[in-house]
Structures are given as C-alpha cells and as structure tokens.
Amino acid sequence: MKKTKLAAIGTSALLVTAFLAGCSSNNNANSGSPSGTASGSASASSASASDKPASGEQVKLTFWRNSGNDAENSAYDQLVKAFNESNPDIKVEMSPIPYSDYDAKLRTSIAANNPPDIMAIDAPNMASYAQSGALQPLTDYFKADGNLDDIPTGTIGAYTYKDNIYMAPLTESSIALFYNKKMFEAAGIPLPSKNPDEPMTWDQVREAAIKLSDAKKGIYGIDPAQGFGNAGSTAYFKYPIIWQFGGEIMDKDGTTSKGYLDMPETKKALQFFADLYNKDKVSALEYPPDPFPTGKLAMTVDGSWSLSYLAEKFPNFKLGEDWDIAPLPKGTKQAVANGSWSLAISSKSKNADAAWKFVNYVTGAESSKLYSSVTKDIPVRYSVAKQFPELNEYPKNVFVIQNQKYGRSRPITPIFPQMSDAVNKMFEEVTIGNRNVDTTIAEAIKKIDKAYADMPK
C-alpha cells in the first residue's frame, strides 16, 4: 500500500466490484485446484492435455501490472529478463499499464474473455475478482512448492478467499507512530519505546497530544489516520484503530457487518477517534502542507514509504535527532493492516502451470531479495527480511515486526469498495458531522449488508 496510490483506490475498486460481479454466474467454478478440477486433489504439476503446448513449442504468457515508480519498473524488468533467459521454453511478455488506466483495462479484458495469463491486483480487490471466477486458485501450487512456511500467516490471509489462496505476495508496507522527539523532550513527556512489542496506548497518545498541542501557534498533537481523503485510506489507516480497541468490521466470511461494526468495542474506537478532533481538539480536519516535518504536528501515523520522502525533502529534519518512530499505538491489543499488490493467474489461462512457474519465481526468496534490494520495499518472506541488516534494526524493524506479528487483512469481501466507502463515511459523519455513534453505525451496517444482498450470486 503506497501512499501515492491511496487516492485512487476508492473509485477504481468500486468499479471493479460492480463490473466483475456480473462476469460469471458460476462463481469459483475452479475452486478445487490449480488445474481446475472440482475435487481439488490434482497435483500442482498436472494439467489437461489441451493446456499443454506441443512438444518443443515455446509457451507465451502475458503479464499485466500497474506501472510503478522507476525502481519498481527496473526491478520487474530485471526479473522478467532473468526468468525468460533461464526458461527458454517459456516467454513472458510484460505490459506495464499506467495506474489510472489499469483497472478499467483489466476489467475490459476479463469481460472480453481475453485476460492476461498473469495479473497484478491490489489485496482489497482480490475477493471481487475471485468471486467472479476470474482467478485461478493457487492453494495446491503453494502447498507443492510455494514455501508457505516462509510467509506470515496473517499475510497469506490477505490473499485467501473461501479457503483458497488466490494471489502470491511479494512485498509489504506498514504504518507506525512518527513523533517529534524534541517536542516530547521540551514538554517533559517520556519518549515512546522503540520495541515493536511495547507500543504506547491510545490513552497515552491522547495525553501526550493534549500537552503538545498549542492552538495559538497552530500546533496539533496527533493526526491519527491521515485525515479523510478516501475510502482506501480509511481501510489502511483507520481499521487498525477499530481492531486495537477489540472491535471488528465484518464477519470472517465478508458477508455482513451486523454484530461486528456495532460491537461495543467498535463503538468505543469510533468515539475515541472523534473525540480527538471534537472534544480534545488535538487533531485538525485540515493541516498546512507537510505539517509534521515543519513542526505543526507533534505526532502522525504514517507509512514506511515516508522515510525516504522525509529524508529527501527535509534533510535538516533528522531521524533520531529531531524525530523518531514508535510502534503503532494499541488499545487492548496490537494490530496493523496488511496486504499489497500481488500476482494472480487468470482462470482462463491455458498455461496455468507455466504461469505459476513465473509467479513462484518472482515471489520466491531469491527474486524477492533482488526486488527489495532495488525498491527498498519490505519483503514478505521471513527468510528474505532476515538478509537485510537495516530491516532488523531500528527504525525499519518496527515496520517489519509489526507486519509479521500483528498484521491483519482488511475484510476479505467481494463488496470491499462499498464496505470501505460506508465505513469511511461513518468516520466522517461521527467526526466531522458530530453525529450519534449508534445511529451512524446502524446506517453503515445497512449500506454494507444491502451491498452484499444486491451482489449477483
């Protein structure tokens, strides 16, 4: 989950679900195994005769992905080239597509029954594609040679729908508490622990924020969740607050919010969040540009991707001297959101085994190390993360360990965009509109449950 991509998630993902819901009336028809058998007992290496090319014929695979930054593009170029050179019987043809056009083009190709063999999909959108029957289940492939033990259980859960794994992850990102060290020291506030297992509580954060806020100077104590920009941002930044207070958003099957979003713990989290703005006055609806590095914001919840941004744009605002990082605060428990762009195989691919060979190559340990070396992203695999000294040292170890030990998938549901939009509005209405928590949550549940009921089955 890159910060530059958050703004587009809400609208594009909503279109994904609405479009894909009607693409297949035989949902999950291939849910048994990677070869499409109903029983799920086929081995990962098996394929029907029609799926295999003639002897000696080179298999050609199409691979679509959202075009990233220069480092991401370079890493993928290297991986595709290396795979093609070491597998002369397979030719992967990669098509980087501009992010703004990606979902629409992918949806169109699926509707025309001409999708790419391999495609990149963001974790929250996985269930809608899987529900429509557009994705090949990867469970048996993973069990055969995907080295599942090297991936945190909480991470693989973000790519699992109805007991099948549908995507192979490569990297992760995470969020933590960024705080102005000099402001803490000047106010006589004890500095937060650097131990990823010892976060401040939200009550402690609130108390510190009250002391650090100075309305006359335009200084606020805490931005708890990157504002109210869009539903995608809500899902990544605000859901952890609900979990940290012991609440939930939906049932484990992603079918309803009744009995979850209206839990007492969820209500407590929402009220606490709103009070930071309306009662305590330690958070603002709008901030000046870059408020944290310019001294207008004492604490902010931000992502691992911002480390390089702050170092580049504000070289005089030094990590370890002027500011520091602490694990994400907790209520009764620790929790962070996981799930990022990962690789899936089309259910229409005639060469699923060859496609898995490429996907497993790209997301395997050796390639993951190369990719993270180039992009500086956090690798998903335990074995790879251990090979980067900086990921095992403060401050980056905070992001890594949080993901590995406390990572949780956002609700796995084919109506994720509608659900996320409803929850985003719930936060807005309680915080910005000062609406009653119970009433607002009840309305959000009604919207979410109606969206699921209206989804073509």
**Predicted local distance difference test score (pLDDT) of residue 17:** 45
- Residue 316: is its pLDDT beyond 70? yes
**Mean pLDDT score across all residues of the chain:** 89
The span from the CA of 337 to the CA of 176, in Å, is: 11
User: 3-class secondary structure for 348-409?
Assistant: CCCCHHHHHHHHHHHHCHHHHHHHHHHHCCEECCHHHHCCCHHHHCCCHHHHHHHHHHHEEE
Chain segment 113-143, per-residue pLDDT in tens: 999 999 999 999 999 999 999 999 999 999 9
CB atoms within 10 A of CB 203: 11
Convert the pLDDT of each residue in 164-182 to its tens digit: 999 999 999 899 999 999 9
What confidence category does residue 26 fall into, taking pLDDT thresholds of 50, 70 and 90? Answer: very low
Rounded to two decimals, the pTM is 0.87
Percent of the chain exceeding pLDDT 90 equals 83
* pLDDT tier at 228, thresholds 50, 70, 90: confident
Question: What residue segments make up the domains of the chain, in order of their start?
Answer: 56-173+340-409, 175-335+415-454
Contact call for residues 397 and 176 (beta carbons, < 8 A):
no
User: What is the pLDDT confidence band of residue 149, given thresholds at 50, 70 and 90?
Assistant: very high
Topology annotation, domain 56-173+340-409: D-Maltodextrin-Binding Protein; domain 2 (3.40.190)
Check whether 420 has a pLDDT greater than 50. yes
Is 31 within 8 Å of 37 (Cβ atoms)? no
- What pLDDT was estimated at residue 53? 55
Residue 72: per-residue pLDDT:
96
What is the pLDDT, as a whole number, of residue 259?
98
Closest CA to 128 of 408, 416, 337, 344: 416
Point out the least confidently predicted range of 41-55, 221-235, 253-267, 326-340. 41-55
Spatial separation of the C-alpha atoms in residues 323 and 220, rounded to whole Å: 15
pLDDT tens sequence across 347-397: 999 999 999 999 999 999 999 999 999 999 999 999 999 999 999 999 999
Buried b (16+ CB within 10 A) or exposed e, 305-336: bbbeebeeeeeebeeeebbbbbbbbbbeebbb
Instruction: Indicate if 175-335+415-454 has the same CATH topology as 56-173+340-409.
Output: yes
DSSP state of 119: E
Quick check: 1 pLDDT over 70?
A: no
Its CATH architecture, for the domain 175-335+415-454, is 3-Layer(aba) Sandwich (3.40)
Quick one: average pLDDT of 433-450?
Answer: 98
Sign of the torsion angle spanned by Cα atoms 226, 177, 311, 288: positive
254-308 per-position pLDDT tens digit:
999 999 999 999 999 999 999 999 999 999 999 999 999 999 999 999 999 999 9
Q: Which residue has the higher pLDDT, 4 or 330?
A: 330
319 — pLDDT class (breaks 50, 70, 90): very high
Neighbours of 401 (CB within 10 A): 19
Q: Residue 445: its pLDDT value, please?
A: 98
What is the per-residue DSSP string for 31-87? TT-TT--SSS-S-TT---GGGSPPTTPPEEEEEEEE---HHHHHHHHHHHHHHHHH-
- Of 167, 158, 161, 118, nearest to 138 by C-alpha is 167
pLDDT interval class at 457 (50, 70, 90):
confident
- Identify the residue with better confidence: 173 or 402: 402
Residue 17 is which amino acid?
T
Closest CA relative to residue 441, chosen from 320, 276, 269, 306: 269
